[in-house]
Amino acid sequence: MRKTTKRRAPRSEYTSPNQLSFLGFETPFYNQLDPSNRWVVLSNQIPWDDLVNLFNKRNPPKATGRPSLNPRVLIGAVIIKHMLNLDDRETVAQITENMYLQYFLGYSSYNKQPPFDASLFVDIRKRLGQKLIAEMNQRIHGFSLERTAVKKDKSRKDDDEPPPGNRWKQRGGNLRR
């Protein structure tokens, strides 16, 4: 009986979002990604470094055996699965077909190979566990609150200063020059 081997996507090392350039993401269509796409926006709102560090603390890399998948891909795939309410196979299919989902996962260019076999989701769920998922949710929520507070502070400062060409506010509501 001939043993079949599964084709897997090439392994890639973790890339910090600070090193991943949006403009440098290569597509086979010679177009740039839309910066307002929900997956592009969400990828910038998630503290990937914190989540990967949490994952690596609970699941340290092994010195022997096959190298593990990029933690960002694993974490991001679970986020995609739950946000889109997909089953395991459909999640892998969507990631394979959608360059925005691949950007969200930290890929530097479009790759038509699946990131992993859908059966690996069973192992991913075991590795993450309820406690780690809860801790990651808290980090994402805290990061979101911090960013919202910074934006509110910035908008308050902008509201306090009238624009240079707004004579109505500068002259106390008097339209005369």
pLDDT in tens for each of the 177 residues of the chain?
Answer: 566 666 666 666 676 666 666 666 666 655 688 889 999 999 988 889 988 998 888 888 777 777 788 899 999 999 999 889 999 999 999 999 999 999 999 998 889 999 999 999 888 888 888 888 888 888 888 777 777 776 666 666 665 555 555 544 444 555 444
pTM: 0.66
The DSSP annotation for 96-145 comes to HH-HHHHHHTT-SB---S-SS-TTHHHHHHHHHHHHHHHHHHHHHHHHHH
- Three-state DSSP state, 57: helix
Residue 105 pLDDT: 94
Instruction: Give the pLDDT score at 66.
Output: 76
Distances in Å between the Cα of 31 and the Cα atoms of 42, 86, 101, 105 are: 20, 28, 16, 19
- What's the confidence (pLDDT) of residue 141? 80
- Per-residue model confidence (pLDDT) at position 157: 63
pLDDT of 169: 47
